[in-house]
Amino acid sequence: MSCIDGEAVFQSIPARYAAPGSDGEGRPVVPLATPTPEELQEVFRHQLDAVCRVVEEQLRTLALTFTAARVSLPEPHSSPALPMADRGAERPLTDGEAEIWLAAQFGADANAAMTEIVTLRLDGRLDAERLLSVVRAVLGRHDALRSRFSPSGETVRIDPAGLVPVRWVDLAGKSDPESALAAHLHTQACLSFDPVAGPVARADLVRLDERRHVLVLSAHHIACDGWSFAVLADAIASAYGAAPEELAPAPQTAGSAPSEAEASRALDYWAGLYTSLPAPLDLPTDHPRPKLRGFAGYTRSATLPPPLVAALKALATRQGQTLNATLLAAFQVLLARLSGQDDLVVGVPMAGQPRRGEPGLVGHHADFLPLRARFDPDEPFAAHLARTGAALAEAAAHADCTLGRLLHHLDRPHDPARPPLAQVQFNLQRFADTIDFGAGLRGTLAPAPKRFSTFELTVSLSETADGLTVDAIYNRALFEPDTIERWIEHYLTLLGHLARDPAQPVGRVPLLDAAERQTMLVDWNATETAHPLKVGAMRAFKLHARRDPDRIAIRFGEETVSYGALDHWADRVAAALQGSALPEGARVGLLMRRSPGLVAAMLGALRAGIPYVPLDPAMPPARRAGIVADAGIGAMLTLAADRALLPEGPRVIEVDRLDGPAPTRFPRVPAERAAYLIYTSSTTGAPKGVEVLHRGLSNLLFSMAWAPGIARDDRLLAVTTVTFDIAGLELLLPLIRGAQIVLASAEEARDGHALLARLQWGEATMLQATPMTWRLLLEAGFRSRPGFKMLCGGEALPLDLARRLTEGGGELWNLYGPTETTIWSSAARIDPGEETVTVGRPIDNTSLFILDAQGEPVPVGVTGELLIGGLGLARGYLGRLDLTQRSFIASALPECAGARLYRTGDRARYRPDGRVEILGRADHQIKLRGYRIEPAEIEAVLLRQTGLHAVVVLRPDAGGEDRLVCYFVRPEGEAAPTLRNLRAALARELPDYMIPSEWVRLSALPLTASGKVDRRALPAPEAGPTGPAEPAAAIKLPLKPAPVPTSDDGLETTLAAIWREVLGLASVERDDDLIALGADSLSVFRIVARARRENLPLGAGDLFQERTIARVAALLHGRLGEGRETPAAARAPIPSIRRPRPADADRAAVGQA
């Protein structure tokens, strides 16, 4: 125990156990209590753990030293004598050091992200003994590399006896030394440093063969920045040719900081740039964003071709800019194109040593500049480059403001899921061509790959005599390596185009190379299939009727209709229509209750070549009259029992009273003729009619007959109202394959239990429905079975619903398509094991294009608007040429120039395999307080956490201020959930700006006739507080169990006092959310520091995760062995070191057990 500072153990004993007279100057004397043996045992249990960790680190340091000594090399030379003055004295941390310290407190991975590594490759004959001695001497000269930080992170001191471990690693005997070196660097990237116990740096000299060695230098970022590594490399090279003892003293710093005037001037500059805050950079991720940001990362690298490097340098020279500004400006364009944002922030580090006039200084002196860039997609790149160059120069002139100081000044929402203000970093590092060690020995300095990342993405370019290398360090919780590799390729493609023509508008510079365009625009749309469209799909129905006329075609309750009878019925309807002397261009209305007559009427109209217009008996009379007038309906098809529903005017044909013979042959209907007219909602308030062609209808039916597919023995339960176009598939698809329609009544379609009974009674093998209808069935007890085929469409299919539907073994298909492209345009069989629900690939003779706002194809994974082409496109909107021209456009893509495309208004992205993922409506996306919000994400979390079906919209309050309003369903007679529970449910997964401020309870969500949620029919919230009340009798939702109140041991009282003091609040309740109370990262770390002074084993991550006093107290009780939770490893009052695991490298973790 001689190597342990025993006094440190006793200093950690709570104040009530302090020795007499130890109250200290200025501290009030507290009555002392004699500790019981049990209390002392508890105290020393924690302190012993801390002591063991310190011993562990010192043993590790000794082991590294002995390892170096085992290679028959001399013992380490002692470092040059150090001036004794102030070397052991403490000083406060600089602002930059404090911010690094705070960032490392988020946990082990956050601390590991602070590990910086460079490699110095040495080619030539090396005196290894001499180099090891030189490395120890050089590293030992710099105070920063022997720094030790206080456990609270408030002060730092220089340890005169501190050692920087230097090891000898011989890989020459390996079969592939270069691969062994890569594995070694991979391991080193997992190691991290403990700034409290030390060391904060290390070095490895790796032997590959007689003439090839690599010196690996690594350090904690708080002690060494990128500039410092270059200083060390130069110093090592110089010392190798001279005696280490002859080295001049290294420049040292006592934590110099800019004057208050300089800092104030810099703060004013940056605050002026951020008077309005940009939205966080929203790069397209491969995985859902975690509630708390992680730090696990990795690196992908590429080398720029020499001709491209030369072209970029020439571009920079022509434009009068630096290469750094040129590469940064292009990177900003890439981010804007990937995110679709025109206002973004990129962090740019800048070495502070040259600016301070101390180029030889080692330590953390880097400045972080959050550069803001705004974009006009039509602006030439040359103009954007000029603005970027000027912004860099201005930023460098105002570098005396740290990011933390700026964040503290700004009134910005706190989001623990993202790095603050700048989520992405860009850096250009210049390395000397070679470093001369003398005697024919040359060195080359380069960064090593990282395995942890502070930012979501860091792009670092390294410039050497050999060219430019780009390293992309990314957050593994968000991105897959293939995505980062694609982005690097997009960056290189972008750079190539800009180097050739900097006058190109930034919004139109290509990101895709020729091969990618071919794949996305041509290969993924290779759906040409030869269907007999001129004959039409209805010909197939007639063939089945002739071959097997007695086969049942429709079953409706107890009533059945055979194929032969249905065929003759359709002939009579067609003959009646053709004999009605309807004027050219007239249409026929369908107005009747659900029955076999409805199917006969549809078939008859299609056979006669007269477009039908479906009308719903439940439709408001005024809307129905408007459609009749707008569509130019010349006749109405109905049943005798429904005649009273018909408006005055058009001729009426009662299809169930048609009898007698009818012609069996009719003229072929041209494929370009309209098949039906479907009316959909319009933003103008008046419905618009979509003219769907026979060609598109036949193509849809032929394609769907093969995939998802329908067989002769299938029975499809038809549930959809005829005014929703997907009813066409239910009522026509079975007939072209000889299958059977089981027709549900309107009453059954609205009642989950009745619908389930009909499905079972009819022995249905297929069902198409919207997600809402599928949920009704599940709530009624539905469970799929092998052989049962489920088609879902009309709205987004949530993953949880997909998994529930497939639990019994049924086959689930997700279908997508607007009315304007004939029912469905894509289909995907759902694999419940996947994490994403897609709409798959286009159906036959259909093309899908995802384009940005400038009409350029977006890369894989990037969000754009989905456009659809192919045979399914409707003619347009009846009588609305303006709307038709706005929505149906001519393609400007060279791969399909002039082709007709429909703009869906849906946001989508391609998956790497070509499947399409729909991300919601562009007009449903919400922007609030600078944040882009997808309401569907909030709705999904609420459903997952509480089981509540909800709709979230943006509505202005009485003062005109926008706020989120959540409408949720709770049946009458059931108690309402509490607001606290609802907010807590969302707070577990969502940032604060995504938690609605108003809640409205409904007994049911309003639906359109097609079964979709009618957002426009949602009632306005009442004035003042709305939604669920807070009565004592209100039910508790099935959320994460609240901590069971424990006996009042003072823990919650202590926590509340700390929160009140740090946050400046008069009172804090045990269930108040920490972030909602206004805490930011700095506040959290102050709370942690205060808690540790009270000997409470608490970390910053605990506060971000638990967020209420009650939950934090429950966590602490578990750690202290007083609760029922599994005790976590207690954090000692000094930072701890995670013990090595067999499958993981050693990691010194700040503040983690």
Q: Looking at residue 1074, what is its pLDDT?
A: 82
Range(s) of the domain holding residue 135:
64-246
- Alpha carbons within 13 angstroms on the beta-carbon side of residue 313 total 10
- Please indicate, yes or no, whether residues 116 and 214 belong to a single structural domain of this protein: yes
Binned at pLDDT 50, 70 and 90, residue 1044 comes out as very low
Nearest partner of 590 among 570, 605, 571, 608, judged by Cα: 605
Do the domain assignments include residue 1152? no
Query: Can you give the CATH number for the domain in which 1105 is found?
Result: 1.10.1200.10
Q: Looking at residue 160, what is its pLDDT?
A: 86
Query: Can you give the CATH number for the domain in which 153 is found?
Result: 3.30.559.10
Average pLDDT estimate for 659-677: 90
- Please indicate, yes or no, whether residues 453 and 325 belong to a single structural domain of this protein: yes
Q: Looking at residue 584, what is its pLDDT?
A: 85
Q: Looking at residue 1073, what is its pLDDT?
A: 77
Averaged pLDDT of the chain: 83
- Please indicate, yes or no, whether residues 204 and 231 belong to a single structural domain of this protein: yes
**Total number of domains constituting the chain:** 7
Q: Looking at residue 932, what is its pLDDT?
A: 57
Residue with tokens 């009674």: 761
Euclidean distance between CA atoms 1111 and 1104, whole angstroms: 11
Do the domain assignments include residue 915? yes
Do the domain assignments include residue 1153? no
How many Å separate Cα 807 from the centre of its chain?
27
Torsions phi, psi for 71 (to 5 deg): -100, 25
- Please indicate, yes or no, whether residues 1081 and 1008 belong to a single structural domain of this protein: no
Q: Confirm if 605 and 572 have CB atoms less than 8 A apart.
A: no
- Percentage with pLDDT > 90 across the chain: 56
Do the domain assignments include residue 972? yes
- Please indicate, yes or no, whether residues 1012 and 1077 belong to a single structural domain of this protein: no
Do the domain assignments include residue 143? yes
Euclidean distance between CA atoms 743 and 749, whole angstroms: 10
Angle at 55 between CA 50 and CA 57, to 5 degrees: 100
From 967, 996, 1017, the end of a domain falls on 1017
Query: Can you give the CATH number for the domain in which 489 is found?
Result: 3.30.559.30
Do the domain assignments include residue 551? yes
pLDDT tens column, 109-130: 999 999 999 999 999 999 999 9
Q: Which residues pair with 1138 in a beta bridge?
A: 1147
Assign residue 153 a region (left: φ > 0; alpha: ψ between -120 and 50; beta: otherwise): left
- Please indicate, yes or no, whether residues 1060 and 1010 belong to a single structural domain of this protein: no
Do the domain assignments include residue 1045? no
- Please indicate, yes or no, whether residues 932 and 1079 belong to a single structural domain of this protein: no
Average pLDDT estimate for 436-447: 91
pLDDT tens column, 1115-1153: 888 777 644 333 333 322 223 223 222 232 222 222 222
- Please indicate, yes or no, whether residues 352 and 222 belong to a single structural domain of this protein: no
Assign residue 662 a region (left: φ > 0; alpha: ψ between -120 and 50; beta: otherwise): beta
- Please indicate, yes or no, whether residues 882 and 749 belong to a single structural domain of this protein: no
Token couple for 787: 């052989």
Query: Can you give the CATH number for the domain in which 1007 is found?
Result: 3.30.300.30
Q: Which of these ranges, 22-36, 353-367, 657-671, 699-713, has the smallest mean pLDDT?
A: 22-36
Query: Can you give the CATH number for the domain in which 682 is found?
Result: 3.40.50.12780
Euclidean distance between CA atoms 866 and 969, whole angstroms: 32
pLDDT tens column, 1008-1023: 655 677 777 888 886 3
CB 1070: neighbour CB atoms within 10 A?
A: 17
Euclidean distance between CA atoms 118 and 185, whole angstroms: 10
Q: Where are the beta strands (DSSP E) in 481-632?
A: 552-556, 559-562, 587-591, 612-615
Euclidean distance between CA atoms 39 and 32, whole angstroms: 14
Token couple for 99: 């911010």
Q: Looking at residue 750, what is its pLDDT?
A: 85
From 769, 787, 808, the end of a domain falls on 769
Binned at pLDDT 50, 70 and 90, residue 1105 comes out as confident
* pTM, entire model: 0.78
pLDDT tens column, 369-380: 999 999 999 999
pLDDT at 67 over 70: no
pLDDT at 581 over 60: yes
pLDDT at 640 over 90: yes
Average pLDDT estimate for 279-299: 91
Q: Confirm if 521 and 895 have CB atoms less than 8 A apart.
A: yes
Helix H or strand E segment including 333: helix 323-339
Torsions phi, psi for 713 (to 5 deg): -90, 5
pLDDT tens column, 955-989: 776 655 567 888 888 777 777 677 777 887 787 76
- Please indicate, yes or no, whether residues 556 and 625 belong to a single structural domain of this protein: yes
Q: Confirm if 938 and 1030 have CB atoms less than 8 A apart.
A: no
916-921 and 926-928: which strand pairing? unpaired
Euclidean distance between CA atoms 1115 and 1112, whole angstroms: 5
pLDDT tens column, 37-65: 443 443 344 344 433 433 443 344 333 33
From 769, 788, 804, the end of a domain falls on 769
Euclidean distance between CA atoms 1004 and 990, whole angstroms: 25
Hey, CA dihedral for 542, 545, 547, 553, is it positive or negative? positive
- Percentage with pLDDT > 70 across the chain: 83
Q: Looking at residue 201, what is its pLDDT?
A: 96
Euclidean distance between CA atoms 336 and 324, whole angstroms: 18
Euclidean distance between CA atoms 1005 and 1002, whole angstroms: 7
Q: Looking at residue 1010, what is its pLDDT?
A: 59
Helix H or strand E segment including 792: strand 789-792
Do the domain assignments include residue 382? yes
- Please indicate, yes or no, whether residues 36 and 160 belong to a single structural domain of this protein: no
Q: Where are the beta strands (DSSP E) in 593-731?
A: 612-615, 633-638, 651-654, 674-680, 688-693, 715-718
Sequence-distant contacts of 772-780: CB under 8 A, at least 24 apart = 772/1007, 772/1011, 772/1012, 772/1013, 773/719, 773/749, 773/1011, 774/801, 774/805, 775/801, 775/949, 776/751, 776/752, 777/752, 778/752, 778/804, 778/805, 779/752, 780/752, 780/753, 780/755, 780/756
Q: Looking at residue 255, what is its pLDDT?
A: 53
- Please indicate, yes or no, whether residues 76 and 208 belong to a single structural domain of this protein: yes
CB 959: neighbour CB atoms within 10 A?
A: 6
pLDDT at 836 over 60: yes
pLDDT at 448 over 80: yes
